[in-house]
Structure 1
């Protein structure tokens, strides 16, 4: 019986070299005993007849699967792979699951790949002190199989800008720009670092109590990994509190606000009006009130059409109605409308002489409890609503259009990008009508820095003043 000792580092490559030599010498698989990492000399006892020497030639797919299976912890893996290599070389079809040995090898390769996947998912690096220019990290991981050499190139590609160590009970991988391996000498776990509390906060925030399936979770993240995961100590409490959190979430589910119910009731209670004269704003408004050209009409309370004098020299176009506009049925009556009114007056514009409207006539939102959170219209919704804006432009025929925000600019010029670079400029529609570009007043309300908000509001006022001067 020949005994071959394989090294702990480079086990698969050493096995491959030995198998080539054994095949060339005609040694049968039954006459070989494989071990890993033991100090022993090769012993050859010729108690089995030799086989015919042969060169080896098998497919790349088969070789990769065999080498993956050799990372399994099964002590018989080397003999099984040795025998299969010879049989594949002699004509055994790769992938034939009716062959017990081949089926066993393929199942073990699958198990190894799953263990590598677990390694990629559950290694948790902790930052450690370093004297070099690059940050350094360390991790401890306990795989089921011998996967360190096969699994760590993933980390070398993903974290190539830092030095790191991944230690396991048998083999340690080190990366300092080059990946190399050594037998593990120190089994101490790296100490916690400052990011672990942040990671726990993140994990708790994304934990979905409504989808807790403990058995499924433990299948994907077995308890054996928990001791090395900083977030694992939160899991028992998160599971215990899941039912209470679900009830809390259900209590906050979207519910139609009373204000909207009253607005819908007012709209439905309005008496039918006489048919407006064709070709007028009233006729266009009545037609738009029944618009179903895009899905936004369904959840909205009503169409919010433009308003202002028929002979207005300036038309102001915004994005879409907000929550208050949707309830009132009038444009620019909410917080953004109040900002516009204040700055227009300061710039010398009288809103009563302006025609104000929006590129999109229905309120797009997502419900959150009793609140309706604004959502930006998409390109399809902007195009669907452009018919009504074209109708307003054709009837008003303004000398200048003030475009507020990217949605309005896209609807008017076909391009809404780069609004901060374009603001204050005069562009043209296809028919030559001048368009003054500025931001939407809601942008000013979202700025968190008071000083920046003050500066941007002054710029907005100057844009509106430019519109006033344009008509002088």
Structure 2
């Protein structure tokens, strides 16, 4: 057996040099004992079967791929002693199987990839959780650079591997990162690395109090997920962070904080709601619509409270078109512009709709156009209102109005634009592509035709595919034109 003693502090060069000699001497993995020793120890200790100077017995050492070098650079940083033997087994097998690393199911390859993943995760934790503390605030001397220290407890030997990240990020200050597995320091010119274990320094700076104040104010108790916090930030990291002392109290008081936030929530509508209401109050009274007419339905829908969407929408957006239209188009829900105008399909999707039906000679004035849901559902984001898809319950509640529209107009053809409209009309979920472009019998004298919603065309980022889908939508509208004669 050949005993190999390495320093084992995450340096690839020492393992690579030893591996080259061993490969050149033709020594198989089973005849090598890898050990961790002090720097300066002999590379090869006494062995049961000595090989003087490890003279080469075969061809020159193999040339490995870049992927193996990248893998080895990470694996040698792992804290498991078996890492050196594992890498040598892979190197030995690469002599006869150059594509070994592509076999993810191989036991050795899988073990090395898991070590690589663990090292990368440890590096990520270090770049995320290192907190610097200022140790010298006297900057009166001309040209003096501020000095900081940090303490971190890595699982693996990653100090040298992450030092360049901190050098790039904090190049304008002098710093020292101390760990039980070595240290790294930057003085504005060079990065100095040490393998010697360091001890934690008991240092406090004023910025910690400022950071705790900031952290306590940005904490959102409504989004608290303790299990996720523990998974992403184990306890050993918590104890070294200045905000750690606040976290137990924040978790304990999260429920009360959420209730307090709810009590402080705004109860007034947005400004444009008030402006619309003021403008509506100045309009002259309109005579009541005839009983049983479509206009009466529209008047009744203005006060709809069947679901909670009316609480935030500006107004009900009912369908529009001739009361005896032969064709009814059903979309999903009104958008931002429709909500303000009180009319369906007047926004960007409505413009696409008008253009395409115009190209195939369909007169919008002859159509009845409506939506499966009559109120705009959205999420406030700054000054914008971002569309949100209505859920099953909201679609089901609004089916009341859609059924009344169908009963009043009695269209011969109903065109469902989008999955929500298809669900509202058939009361079951179906893949749009399975039924698109095919006339389906709803009743004896009524057909259903399914296509996409015009807004789908606006969301396609690729211009070529957008043109293809627009052409397909135009073909669907041409088919509608043929169906209505």
- In the superposition, the TM-score normalised over structure 1's length comes to 0.55
Determine the structure 1 residue equivalent to 2:107.
Answer: 100
Give the 3-state SS of the residue equivalent to 2:214 in structure 1: helix
Change in Cα spacing, 1:124 to 1:268, as seen in structure 2 (3 Å) is same
Q: Look up the SS of the partner of 1:5 in the other structure.
A: strand
Looking at structure 2, the residues matched to 251 and 59 of structure 1 have their Cα atoms a distance apart, in angstroms, of 62
Cα distance in 2, alignment partners of residues 149 and 74 from structure 1? 17
CA distance in 1, matches of 2:71, 2:183: 24
2:45 to 43, 46, 49: 43
Alignment deviations for residues 265-292 of structure 1 (CA, whole Å, 9 cap, x no partner):
772473159xxxxxxxxxxxxxxxx9x9
Further displaced range: 80-89 or 253-262:
253-262
Greater Cα offset, 184-193 or 110-119: 184-193
Equivalence map 1:236-315=2 (5 Å): 236-256=248-268, 264=277, 267-268=280-281, 270-271=283-284, 295=336, 298=339
CA–CA separation in structure 2 for the residues paired with 1:211 and 1:178: 43
**Structure 1 residues 9-18 or 112-121, which shifts more?**
9-18
Residue deviations 1:335-361, cap 9 Å, x none? Answer: xxxxxxxxxxxxxxxxxxxxxxxxxxx
Inter-partner Cα distance in structure 1 for 2:340 and 2:246? 40
Aligned residues between the structures: 297
State the partner residue of 1:116.
123
- For 1:99 and 1:376, the matched residues in 2 are separated by 52
Q: Does 1:69 align with 2:75?
A: yes
Q: 2:47 and 2:59 mapped to 1: Cα distance?
A: 18
**1 CA distance for matches of 2:198 and 2:179?**
9
Distance 2:76 2:197 in 1: 24
Whole-angstrom CA distance in 1 between matches of 2:239 and 2:209: 16
> CA separation in 2, counterparts of 1:262 and 1:9?
69
CA distance in 2, matches of 1:237, 1:183: 38
Call closer, same or farther: CA 1:72–1:8 in 2, change over 3 Å: closer
How far is 1:217 from its partner? 0.7
CA distance in 2 between counterparts of 1:111 and 1:168 reads 18
SS at match of 2:239: helix
- Structure 1 SS opposite 2:102: coil
Query: Which segments of 5 or more consecutive residues in structure 1 lack a partner in the other structure?
Result: 274-289, 302-365, 378-472
Aligned to 1:194: 206
2 CA distance for matches of 1:18 and 1:72?
A: 18
Structural mapping, 1:145-224, within 5 Å: 145-176=156-187, 177-184=189-196, 186-224=198-236
Does 2:31 correspond to 1:31? yes
Shift of 1:262: 10
Cα drift, residue 296 of structure 1: 5.8
2:94 aligned partner = 88
SS of residue matched to 2:131: coil
Cα deviation per residue 1:432-451 (whole Å; 9 max; x = unaligned)?
xxxxxxxxxxxxxxxxxxxx
Q: For residue 431 of structure 1, what is the aligned residue in structure 2?
A: none
1:109-148 alignment, distance < 5 Å: 109-129=116-136, 133-148=144-159
Q: Tell whether the 8 Å contact from 1:140 to 1:166 is kept in structure 2 after alignment.
A: yes
1:385 corresponds to which residue?
A: none
Residue 136 to residue 262, structure 1, CA distance change in 2 (3 Å): closer
Does the 8 Å contact 2:10/2:77 carry over to 1? no
Structure 1 match to 2:464: none
CA gap 1:294/1:170 in 2 versus in 1, 3 angstroms: closer
Check the 8 A contact 1:31/1:48 in 2, yes or no. no
Partner of 1:57: 63
RMSD: 3.8
Name the residue aligned to 2:345.
none
- Between stretches 97-106 and 179-188, larger displacement belongs to 179-188
1:376 and 1:84 mapped to 2: Cα distance?
A: 56
C-alpha separation in 2, matches of 1:257 and 1:9: 62
Determine the structure 2 residue equivalent to 1:20: 20
3-state secondary structure, aligned to 2:45: coil
- Distance verdict in 2 for CA 1:199–1:253, change over 3 Å: same
Question: Would the aligned equivalents of 1:254 and 1:367 in 2 still touch at CA under 8 Å?
Answer: no
Q: Secondary structure at the match of 2:246?
A: helix
Is the Cα–Cα contact under 8 Å of residues 9 and 182 in structure 1 kept in the other structure?
A: no
What are the Cα deviations for residues 112-145 of structure 1, in whole angstroms up to 9, with x where unaligned? 1001000000000101127772111100100011
CA distance in 2: counterparts of 1:164 and 1:139, whole angstroms: 8
